[in-house]
Every structure is written in C-alpha cells, then in structure tokens.
C-alpha cells in the first residue's frame, strides 16, 4: 500500500529531508558519503519502500527507486543529488531528488491501473557526489552511469580528508552491488541558482544547453623561508604568486564585459601554512565559464598569457597541472519541446535558457534524451545557506516534472537515440 | 658518573637528535607537543640524566636540566627550543638546546671541583612552542616564564588541529608540575637565519636588539555563492579580497626600499574551500617587521591605508582582528660586552647585529641580563629543510656559549637587575 502523494505531503517530506544535516542558519552540510549524507540516503530508501519504489544501489552509490510497469523495457529516470556543498542550501539537488521520487511514484501508480499504457519503466534516482567538494571531480555518479569514467576509478578516488570513495561509501552502507536500471530517457528539476527566472517573473526554465567550462588545477611553487629573517629580495613566496593567479582569473572574467565570462578560484590550499613561514606551495582550483565554446577558449588563452607573465616575473613557478574543458552541448530538441508544451498546458510562464552550472543531466544527455527544468532561486543565491525557493515555486516545478514524466513514460520522446 | 662532553660527542648527539622527526629531505617536522616533539623531549630528558642534569618540567612543558652548584642561588639558564616549523630545518632551536645542555653540563662539572667558584646555579632549558605553528602565538613557554602571559591562558589555547595545549602536553607526558628554576641570567645560541655572518666571513654574531614587528590576524568577509551560476557583478569573493591583502603586504615592504621592511602572509585559510564555491571567508596571519619602531609604525600606517582601500572598493570587508606590536628593545650592554670579549679571547671573528627573527631570548631579556649569540646559516636559508650550518660553525658557537656560560656562572654579569 503506497502513501499519499499530495502537494502537502511533498512539502512536509521536503521539510523532513531538509532537517538531515541541517545548519543553524537554515541550510544543510551534507557532503558526499559523510554521515549526514548517509542519513539522507537512509531516509530516501525508506521513502522509496513506503511508496512502492524498489531500492537499488549500484557500485558507486547511485540510488534508484524502480517500478517495473512495462516488463523488460528500459527506464525513464527522474532525479538529481542529495549531497551538498559545505554549509550550503537545502534546495540544491535535494529538491530534484524528492520531486523525482514523487513524480516516479505518481506516474507508476497511475499506469499500474492501465495495462499497456506504459511504454517504459520508471525510476527515481539520487546520483552520487554531484557537488565534488569532498571528492573531486563533481558529477561522479552520473559520469560512471554514462560511461565517461569507471566505477574503479571513482572508488579509488581519495577525498580531501584522505578517505577513499570506496571506504566512505562502505562506512555509510551505500557501496552497493545492484545493477543500475538501463535508461530510456532522463528528466531532472533543479533550482536555477541564478536570477533570470525571478527577474523575468517566470515559473519554469527549460534548459537548452550547458555553459562551457574550463576547470584548472594549478600549483604555484615558491620556496619555504622565515618571514622574520629573510630579506624580501631573497624570497620566492608561493602565496604572493598564487594571489596574482587569483586576481588574474578575476581580470580574465572582467575583460569580456557584463555577464559573459565567469572566473573563480574556489579551493586554495597553502603549504606549510604557518604564521611565520613564507609559503612554499599553493594548490588551487580555478574555473572559467562562458555560454559558448569560442568565448571560453578566448578566456582560456587570456588566462594562459597571464600565467606566463606571473612565472616570467621570476619569483614563482606556476604549473597548470590539468585544464579540463566541459564543452557546451545542447539538450535534445524533443525534450525541450515536450517540457515547453507541458508548461504551456499547465498555464505556467516559462522560457528556454542555458544552464551556467553543471548538473548530472549534462552527463545524462550524452546517453539518452534528457529534459532539464529550473525553478526560480530567490536573489539567485546558491551554494549558500540563504538559498531559497517558495513552496509555490517548488510545487509548480513538481507538477511540471510529473506531467513531463507522465508523457515520457507513455512514449512522448520516441525520437530517442541510444549510446 | 657523567659522560664525555667532547666536540665529537656533540656532533654525534646532534645527529641523533636530528633523526627524531626527520624528513626525507634532511629536515625535521616536529611541531610543538606532537609525538615527534615528545620523542625529542624524551631524548633530551635521558641526556640530562646521563650527564648529571636534574630534569624538571613546568606546567607549560618547559624542560629544565638543573645543577645546584651554589646552594640557594638563582640559575644561569642556557637553552632554546626543540620544536620546529612544519617540514623545517634541523638546526633552528635544536642546535641551541643541545649547545645549552653541553655548556651547562661542562660548566657544572668544572665548578663542582672548585668549591666557592660558582656564584649561581646552572640549568639547560628547552622552551615550549617557540615556533607558534601549531599553537599561536609563538614564544609561548618563555612568555609564561617571564610573566607576560599565564600558564592557564597557554594551556587553554587550542591549536590548528583543535587540540588544546593542555591535552597535547598531557598526551606526550610533558605537562609537568615542577617549579621552574629562578633565573639570574640567560644565554641562547641560534643559527642566524640570514646571510650577514656568511657574507662577511664571520663566526659569531652578538645580538644587540630585536627587530620590531607588527603581527596581524585578519579576516576577509565575502559571501558564499556558486562559481558556475553567479554573475561576477553579484559576487563578494573573499579570496579575491584576501589576495589583494597579500599583495598589499608585499607592496608595503617594497615601498621602503632595500632590506628595510619585511612583510609576509604565512597562514591563509579559505572557507569553505570547495572547487565550485565562491569563498565566504579567508583568515590570514600577516606580519610587518623593521629594525626600528618608527619604520615599523610607518609600515603599519601604510598597511592600514591599503586595507581601507580594499574594503572601500565594496566587494569585501577586511577586518583586522588583532594587531600586536613587538617593540624593538636592546639586549643588556653587559651581556653584549661579555660575549664580544669571549669571542675575542677565543680568536673568533664576530660582529654585533640585531636579530630580525623573534627568539625566546627576546622574552628573557625583559626579565634578566640576556646574551644572544648567532652562528652563520648557509645562504641564510631557514624554516626550510635545506637549512644548514657546518660542523665547524656549530663547534665555534658551542665554544663561545660554553665560555660565556662559564663566566656568567662565576659572576661576570653582576650588573644583573631582577624583575
């Protein structure tokens, strides 16, 4: 016997889920495969069971709640991720997982009463380590699912705390051995994490493509010495060089004018990091992003020139350990059209738009037709405990995802290609 | 029965001590009250016992090796510190502790055979946490000894790993309850950590004063957001602001011309420090140093102006949590004259000079007449595994310290004042 799937139940369940790993300021701190993430996963597994979804956990901790409504057919997957950044918001990822679970349970219950209506099976999904804050890179679980990396490579990855993915997942009891359900198609709903929908008074964003991104790992090499006894002309201060790199990234972003290029350094680790020691090394993670590939390549070249200037000044050596391009690619037109029709049919105000941030759907769209939906983020605040969307915004999104899933399960995306 | 106190024994003992907490590159990693520091302390305590020095450990882990040769009299203290910076050199501090122990044992054995010769008792000393890398601030044990802070304040201090001094000392068995021996005077020998002695072909430096230093704890406040979804104009990036602070410190040092002001940021900690999160906060430790108080005050004002400009630009707020001045003060003339005479008598080339770096003797000279000696540091390299002084340089220093101690114990510094 499944439990009710009402709007009120959704909001109550979202509040319950948000309490797991909650911070005093209204956010969550639930990094991948930590104890808090484990509790959220246990909560979701119980939810799956109570609502008639059959839990599966694959080798890299991706969780599926499966319902077989079309024997032997591949699955419409609906989901997002439960892990969070440190001291982050409660909506990012978790909203999409719960909405996916509600949509899956709702559609499964409907088609169960109408033999032959379902052309595909349906499953909710919680992808492992979308955020990449504890284990780098991000989008890990979905990358294994689509074959961009291997389960072994992911399991061997060691996090910032020195623990491997294998050990971290084992400790929380989520390194599974279930076979992942094969996909027919995928839909994900997420907060926008920007201000476009709010500024334009819209309910829904239908994502057309992802921004291109260069992600860098950079090490600045200097030489350790005494801050109190080493004259300035003898110094090779890695922190001075790394500070120049941070400002170079900012300068690249500024060169391209308003809202064109994003540039940031998020992780920045100083060695040996003692008050009276001139730093020997700084390791940092930088990114440069733009809507189109041409612009991001121009930003990349500008960054390389600036790095060469910093090394050329002679105090430090800046080593680019890796520079990985995530290209801008489109979501399938069939999915964009479907989601737009659904929003129209529901009387919602929507627009097509790119996603600036990465999402698991960026991986999934390489494998199967994929629909990506946004709801508004108040003030565009994200990766911050003040992240917020209203109940009405969440429910409008839930209804859009559910109706989209309903049509996908009954065959609306039959232009599907397979990998 | 005490063991031999020859030059060869000193060098062999220094090699043994250097093996404790040794790094592959020839340095040591022996931060205060870590297991490695504990092993070095056990080694020193055994050395004290084998050589007739009676071990005492006070409440904040200062270790003394005492010999009573003048019943009831205060002590000539001879020492330095065994703790090191992370991945640092094997000479900094440890050389001075071992030289102090040799000098104390040598002089004690001599005067024991000549009743009435000693006007003071003698003790070797290993001060707790000179470096300040694990527990801030530096010069902790000697600060308690001279009454600049309290044992309770030090014991309650929590280190960068979340462990208190009390717990850390207890774990290694060095939170003692012995009474510290009262001081008549103090002598310390240390590597120069600069290039002056080497450049001028000298054997010994006799320290006349310490450089003035401003030490700052600064927090840069921004706002956490998503590196991939937040347009640049909405960002308040604490790492960009903190990078500007690092370059401001460098600019202040450069303003004053060659070898006049030192400026550095050594500790720099980013929160939340995730690759895809715009940093919310950076906490950093900065210092500005100059020989004289007037110059360091001018540098301080220049720094404050630059900080105000960074906050004034509007993206971040720079908060100076603390700004502590260590003034430049002189070592007592009587001690400078004594050490110079000893060096002349030994036929060594020496000069008077200030110390740029802080030392425990900077604290002790506020309490009792204090002699501070330097030996050359090859290339001036310090707080680095490549730190090096030759055997001949170490032995010339040992002989100078021993002869200075011999004269101090027999009454050469009778201009002594007490606190």
Query: Which of B289, B49, B20, B33 minimizes the C-alpha distance to B175?
Result: B33
Helix axes B94-112, B35-50, angle to 10 degrees: 20
Instruction: Name every residue whose Cβ is closer than 8 Å to that of residue B312 and which is 6 or more positions away in sequence.
Output: none
C-alpha A202/C-alpha A141 separation (Å) is 31
d(CA A348, CA A350): 6
**B294: CATH:** 3.30.70.360
Q: Does some domain include residue A61?
A: yes
The position carrying tokens 């024994």 is B9
Taking the C-alpha atoms of residue A333 and residue A339, their distance in angstroms, rounded to an integer, is 10
d(CA B290, CA B312): 28
Instruction: Count Cβ atoms below 10 Å from residue A309 Cβ, excluding itself.
Output: 12
Write the pLDDT tens digit of every residue in A42-92: 999 999 999 999 999 999 999 999 999 999 999 999 999 999 999 999 999
- Whether A419 has a pLDDT exceeding 80, the answer reads no
- Rounded-to-integer distance, Cα A151 and Cα A165, Å: 10
Query: Is A267 in the B-facing interface, judged by CB distances under 8 Å?
Result: yes
Residues 171-230 of B with CB under 8 A from A: 192-195, 211, 213, 215, 223-230
For residue A387, the Cα-to-chain-centroid distance in whole angstroms is 15
Q: Does B276 touch chain A (CB under 8 A)?
A: yes
Chain A residues within 8 A of B133 when measuring between CB atoms:
272, 274-277
**Which of B224, B229, B264 lies nearest to residue A193, judging by beta carbons?**
B229
The pLDDT, as a whole number, for residue A77 is 98
| Cβ pair B275:A285 closer than 8 A | yes
The confidence band for A416, taking pLDDT boundaries of 50, 70 and 90, is very low
Confidence check: pLDDT of A260 > 60: yes
Are the CB atoms for B79 and B183 separated by under 8 Å? no
Count CB neighbours of A1 within 10 A. Answer: 5
B67-115 residue pLDDT tens: 999 999 999 999 999 999 999 999 999 999 999 999 999 999 999 889 8
Q: What is the mean pLDDT of chain A?
A: 95
At residue B403, the pLDDT reads 98
Q: Do residues B123 and B249 share a domain?
A: no
Same domain, B29 and B85: yes
Q: Please, which pLDDT band fits residue B3 given cuts at 50, 70 and 90?
A: low
CA A134 to CA A299: how far, in whole Å?
A: 28
**Residues of B in Cβ contact (< 8 Å) with A237:** 250, 264
Residue with tokens 């501090």: B93
Q: Is the pLDDT of residue B415 over 90?
A: no
Give the dihedral sign, CA B162/B168/B171/B175: negative
- Domain with B92, as residue range(s), is 7-210+329-410
Mean pLDDT on B362-368: 96
Mean pLDDT of A368-379: 96
Q: Are residues A270 and A361 both part of a single domain?
A: no
Which tokens is B228 given? 């991939």
In this model, does residue A36 exceed pLDDT 60? Answer: yes
pLDDT band at A414 (very low <50, low <70, confident <90, very high): confident
Do A195 and A155 sit in the same domain of this protein?
Answer: yes
pTM: 0.88
The verdict on a CB contact (< 8 Å) between A232 and B215 is no
Q: Reduce the DSSP state of residue B409 to 3 states and report it.
A: helix
Residues of chain B positioned with their CB less than 8 A from the CB of A89: none
**Do B40 and B179 sit in the same domain of this protein?**
yes
Of the three residues A278, A311, A326, the one that is the final residue of a domain is A326
Domain shared by B196 and B89, yes or no? yes
Instruction: Output the six-digit token pair for B331.
Output: 């070592």
Please determine, for residue A213, whether its predicted confidence score (pLDDT) is greater than 60: yes
- Residues B247-289 have pLDDT tens digits of 999 999 999 999 999 999 999 999 999 998 999 999 999 999 9
pLDDT, position A4: 85
Same domain, residue pair A321 and A352: no
Q: What pLDDT band is residue A180 in, cutting at 50, 70 and 90?
A: very high
B245 vs B218: CA distance, rounded Å = 9
Looking at the structure, do residues B203 and B226 belong to the same domain, yes or no?
Answer: no
Q: What is the mean pLDDT of residues B316-343?
A: 96
* Cα A180 to Cα A63, A127, A145, A339, distances in angstroms: 9, 11, 8, 26
B130 pLDDT higher than 80? yes
Taking residues B175-192, what's their average pLDDT? Answer: 97
Does a structural domain hold residue A32?
Answer: yes
Partners of A273 in beta bridges: none
- Position B1 pLDDT exceeds 60: no
Q: Is residue B67 part of a domain?
A: yes
Residue A228: list chain B partners with CB under 8 A: 193, 211, 213, 262, 287, 289, 356-358
CA-to-CA distance for B355 and B362, rounded, in angstroms?
Answer: 9
Predicted local confidence at residue A417, as pLDDT: 43
The count of other CB atoms within 10 Å of the CB of residue A365 is 25
First-to-final CA distance of chain B: 37
| B113 within domain boundaries | yes
Indicate whether A340 belongs to any domain: yes
Which pLDDT value is given to residue B100? 98
Instruction: Compute the nearest-CA separation of A293 from chain B (Å).
Output: 15
Based on the domain organization, do B136 and B225 belong to the same domain? no
A15 and A57 in one domain?
yes
Residue A18: CATH number of its domain:
3.40.630.10
What b/e sequence results for A11-32 when a residue is b if at least 16 CB atoms lie within 10 Å of its CB, and e otherwise?
eebbeebbebbbbeeebbbbbb
Assign B167 to helix, strand or coil. helix
- Which of the listed residues B267, B301, B326 is the one where a domain comes to its end? B326
- The whole-angstrom separation of Cα B183 and Cα B179 is 12
Instruction: Say how many domains are in chain A.
Output: 2
Three-class DSSP category at B275: coil
Exposure class string for B9-33: b at 16+ Cβ within 10 A, else e:
ebeebbeebbebbbbeeebbbbbbb
Question: Is pLDDT at B417 greater than 60 in this prediction?
Answer: no
Q: What is the DSSP string of A127-140?
A: -S-SS-SSSSSSSH
For residues B286 and B362, membership in a common domain is answered with: no
Q: How close B224 gets to chain A, by Cα (Å)?
A: 5
Q: ipTM score of the complex?
A: 0.88
Closest to A399 (Cα-Cα) out of A344, A335, A334, A332 = A344
- Which residues touch A217 (CB under 8 Å, ≥6 apart)? A283, A284, A285, A320, A321, A322
Listed residue (B185, B87, B169, B104) closest to B135, CA to CA: B169
Cα distances (angstroms) measured from residue A191 to each of A14, A203, A226: 14, 11, 48
Mean pLDDT along residues A145-174: 96
A22-27 own/partner pairs: CB under 8 Å, 24+ apart: A22/A90, A23/A87, A23/A385, A25/A87, A25/A385, A25/A386, A26/A90, A26/A385, A26/A386, A27/A84, A27/A87, A27/A88, A27/A89, A27/A90, A27/A384, A27/A385, A27/A386, A27/A387
Assess if residue A176 is contained within a domain.
yes
Read off the pLDDT of residues B208-240 as tens digits, 9 standing for 90 and up: 999 999 999 999 999 999 988 899 999 999 999
Domain co-membership, A359 together with A255: no
Q: Report the DSSP beta bridge partners of residue A191.
A: A375
Q: What is the reported pLDDT for B412? A: 87
Residue B48: inside a domain: yes
Last residue of a domain, one of B269, B303, B326: B326
d(CA A17, CA A46): 12
Asked whether residue B334 is assigned to any structural domain, the reply reads yes
């Amino acid at each position: 016997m499944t439990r009710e799937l009402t709007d009120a139940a959704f909001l109550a369940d979202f509040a319950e889920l948000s309490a797991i790993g909650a911070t005093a300021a209204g956010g969550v701190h639930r990094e991948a495969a930590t104890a808090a993430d484990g509790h959220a996963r246990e909560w979701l597994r119980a939810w799956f069971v109570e609502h008639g979804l059959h839990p599966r956990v694959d080798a890299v901790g991706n969780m599926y709640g499966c319902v077989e409504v079309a024997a032997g057919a591949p699955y419409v997957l609906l989901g997002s991720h439960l892990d969070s950044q440190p001291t982050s918001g409660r909506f990012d990822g978790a909203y999409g997982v719960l909405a996916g679970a509600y949509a899956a349970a709702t559609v499964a219950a409907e088609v169960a009463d109408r033999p032959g209506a379902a052309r595909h099976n349906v499953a909710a999904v919680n992808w492992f380590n979308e955020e990449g804050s504890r284990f780098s890179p991000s989008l890990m679980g979905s990358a294994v699912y689509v074959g961009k990396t291997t389960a072994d490579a992911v399991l061997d990855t060691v996090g910032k705390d020195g623990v491997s993915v294998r050990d971290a997942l084992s400790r929380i009891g989520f390194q599974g051995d279930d076979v992942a359900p094969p996909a027919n198609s995928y839909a994900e709903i997420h907060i926008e994490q920007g201000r476009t929908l709010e500024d334009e008074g819209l309910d829904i964003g239908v994502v057309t493509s992802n921004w291109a991104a260069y992600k860098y790992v950079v090490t600045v090499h200097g030489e350790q010495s005494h801050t109190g006894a080493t004259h300035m002309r003898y110094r090779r201060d890695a922190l001075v060089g790394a500070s120049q790199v941070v400002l170079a990234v900012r300068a690249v972003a500024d060169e391209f004018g308003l809202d064109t290029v994003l540039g940031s350094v998020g992780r920045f680790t100083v060695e040996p990091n003692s008050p009276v020691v001139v730093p020997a090394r700084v390791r940092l993670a930088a990114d440069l992003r733009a809507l189109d590939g041409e612009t991001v390549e121009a930003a990349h070249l500008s960054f390389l020139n600036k790095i060469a200037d910093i090394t050329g000044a002679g105090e430090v050596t800046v080593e680019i350990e890796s520079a990985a391009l995530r290209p801008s690619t489109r979501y399938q037109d069939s999915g964009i059209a479907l989601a737009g029709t659904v929003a129209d049919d529901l009387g919602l105000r929507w627009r097509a738009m790119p996603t600036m941030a990465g999402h698991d759907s960026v991986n999934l769209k390489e494998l199967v037709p994929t629909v990506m939906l946004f709801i508004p983020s108040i003030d565009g605040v994200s990766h911050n405990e003040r992240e917020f969307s209203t109940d009405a915004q969440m429910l409008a999104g839930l209804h859009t995802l559910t109706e989209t899933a309903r049509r996908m399960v009954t065959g609306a995306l039959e232009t599907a290609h397979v990998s």
